[in-house]
Amino acid sequence: MKPSSVALTGVLVSLFLATVGVGAQEVLPQPAAPFKGHIGPTVQDSTLDFPPAINAPKGAPNILLILTDDVGFGASSTFGGPIATPTMDQLAKDGLRYTQFHTTALCSPTRAALLTGRNHHSNATGVIMELATGFPGYNSLMPKTNGTFAEILRQNGYNTAWYGKNHNVPDWQSSQAGPFDLWPTGLGFEYFYGFLGGDTSQWAPAIFENNKPIEPAHDDPNYFFENDMANHAIERIRMLHAVAPDKPWVVYYAPGTAHAPHHAPKDWIAKFKGQFDMGWDKMREETLARQKAMGIVPPDTQLTPRPKEIQAWDSLDADHKKVYAHMMEVYAAALSYCDTQMGRILQAINDMGELDNTLVIYIQGDNGASAEGTPQGLLNEMSVFNGIPEDFKQVMAQMDDLERISAGLNRDSPEDLDRRISWH
């Protein structure tokens, strides 16, 4: 079986419709119910009749759809990679693991296809939002005829919410002037807590709650967006369970990790100290060996030749090896920390006694690993977008602060704040 983002959305809706059965509504919105009361000359002569509420069928499952960002096939431990992802490991152990999920190889197109179950060109999202052009399939204005899974489920009795990355709002519609009909709250999601663009800082994120800008806690030295996002998701799920325990919900949870900038708490980076000193050539061999042992790839699978643009690890000097190994430590810490936050959400659902009635779909990466970092890596991804080369000596000098510098921000250093302003 080779599920794609289009097919997966069909699975979500089909699962619901199968649960609903014969009475499933194939055309939305549902037509107004006929008035079955009686209107007489006076109130006393009349019979009231309120329109019936639209309820999901009894026992309809909750749905948690997780989508990480820019994660390669061989990154997570669940698929033989070197980065510990215990939450995904447990889900794979308890459920099903698919190895041939297809994406469009770009953020916005994959996400548009996942939201609607339609080809990305049918969604006018043939490229990322910032590259939209005035041609069919590429103008980033998703047609109103392409309903999202959230809209379908909402109109069939579900509560709906979206957390994390959006990257599906047309670039010129992202201000407080709107329009907001292509924002999450205009696409069937009753609640949104996340960011609109392709990425954001974990330390000082550009957050929106529904369509209102929200300032993070700048005075909290321990603030981290993915922790904050998980807290918001847990809080709302608990609230819904308390207020309407019989009403199912769908949560689309889309963290920004492991897209640039790569951010992680220092103590998480320390967990991976030295684990990548063997270099990328040896790591590829070890990953493939684990994938064969796990049955993820056929036993006769061979590694592709290393691209000529990437140097052999053994040909690098000690400084380059030290910097590149540490970059991988930061990346690994970011992904592992992100996975752990999703584990907190699942634990909260389990504590409510709802885990067995929750369909969890965990997609590790919307388009595989990303190449913006170049073979050398970057202090700030904006430099490559603007054609500004970075000197390796500068990268090495700031190696120990990569988890903050990659966003151009170190809140303990005014110099780094000046640099952030100059870079952007």
Q: Do 293 and 400 fall within a single domain?
A: no
Q: Is residue 5 part of a domain?
A: no
Residue 8 lies in a domain: no
Q: Which amino acid is at 33?
A: A
Helix (H, G, I), strand (E, B) or coil at 213: strand
In this structure, are 322 and 242 located in the same domain?
A: yes
Query: In this structure, is residue 391 part of a structural domain?
Result: yes
Residues 160 and 230 grouped into a single domain: yes
What beta strand segments (E) does 14-110 contain? Answer: 62-67
- Asked whether residue 47 is domain-assigned, the answer is no
Whether 421 and 342 share a structural domain: no
CA 175 to chain centre: 22
**What's the CA gap between 400 and 330, in Å, rounded?**
10
Domain boundary among 351, 370, 389: 370
Domain check: are 167 and 64 in the same one?
A: yes
Residue pair 224/202 in contact by the 8 Å Cβ criterion:
yes
Q: What is the pLDDT along the chain (424 residues), one digit of tens a residue?
A: 334 555 566 555 565 555 544 345 578 888 889 999 999 999 999 999 999 989 999 889 999 999 999 999 999 999 999 999 999 999 999 999 998 888 888 999 999 999 999 999 999 999 999 999 999 999 999 999 999 999 999 999 999 999 999 999 999 999 999 999 999 999 999 999 999 999 999 999 999 999 999 999 888 989 999 999 999 999 999 999 999 999 999 999 999 999 999 999 999 999 999 999 999 999 999 999 999 999 999 999 999 999 888 999 999 999 999 999 999 999 999 999 999 999 999 999 999 999 999 999 999 999 888 888 888 888 888 888 888 888 999 889 988 888 776 544 443 343 333 333 222 2
Query: What is the structure's pLDDT at 133?
Result: 96
Residue 52 included in any domain: no
Last residue of a domain, one of 370, 395, 411: 370
Contact of 408 with 402, CB cutoff 8 Å = no
For residue 221, report the phi and psi dihedrals to the nearest 5 degrees: -65, -15
Are 345 and 393 found together in one domain? Answer: no
Give alpha helix (H) positions in 26-166: 86-94, 107-116, 149-154
Query: Do 388 and 354 lie in a common domain?
Result: no
Residue 401's pLDDT is what? 84
Q: Is residue 13 part of a domain?
A: no
Pair 145, 163: CB distance under 8 Å: no
Asked whether 28 and 144 are in contact (CB, 8 A), the reply is: no
Residues 306, 177 share a domain: yes
Which neighbouring-strand residues pair with 47?
Answer: 38
Q: Are both 309 and 402 inside the same structural domain? A: no
| β-sheet with 191-195: strand ranges across | 212-214, 207-209, 191-195, 159-165, 249-254, 62-67, 358-363
What is the CATH number for 161? 3.40.720.10
73 and 108 in a single domain? The answer is yes
Q: If you write DSSP's letter for every residue of 363-391 in order, what string do you get?
A: E--SSS---TTTTT--S-THHHHTT----
Quote the domain boundaries for residue 414: 380-424
Q: Is residue 324 part of a domain?
A: yes
Q: What is the DSSP letter of 77?
A: G
- The pLDDT value recorded for residue 6 is 56
Give the pLDDT of residue 300: 97
In angstroms, the CA 424 to CA 408 distance is 9
DSSP class of residue 400? G
Of 282, 407, 263, residue with least CA distance to 333 = 263
Q: Write down the pLDDT at residue 382.
A: 82
Chain-centroid distance of CA 321 in Å reads 31
Q: Is 200 helix (H, G, I), strand (E, B) or coil?
A: coil
Residues 280, 82: Cα–Cα separation, whole Å: 11
3-state class percentages of the chain: helix first, strand second, coil last, to nearest 5: 40, 10, 50
269 and 387, same structural domain? no
CA distances from 22 to 16, 236, 244, 333 (A): 12, 32, 25, 48
Total domain count, the chain? 2
336: Cβ–Cβ under 8 A, 6 or more apart, which residues? 83, 84, 85, 268, 271, 272
Residue 58: both structure tokens together: 């009894």
Virtual torsion, Cα 257, 261, 262, 263, nearest 10 deg = -90
Q: Are residues 181 and 238 in the same domain?
A: yes
Residue 293 has what pLDDT? 98
Give the per-residue pLDDT at 177: 96
* Angstrom distance (rounded) from CA 57 to CA 102: 32
Helix and strand totals (H; E) in the chain = 12, 7
Residue 231 lies in a domain: yes
Q: Are 2 and 102 spatial neighbours (Cβ–Cβ below 8 Å)?
A: yes
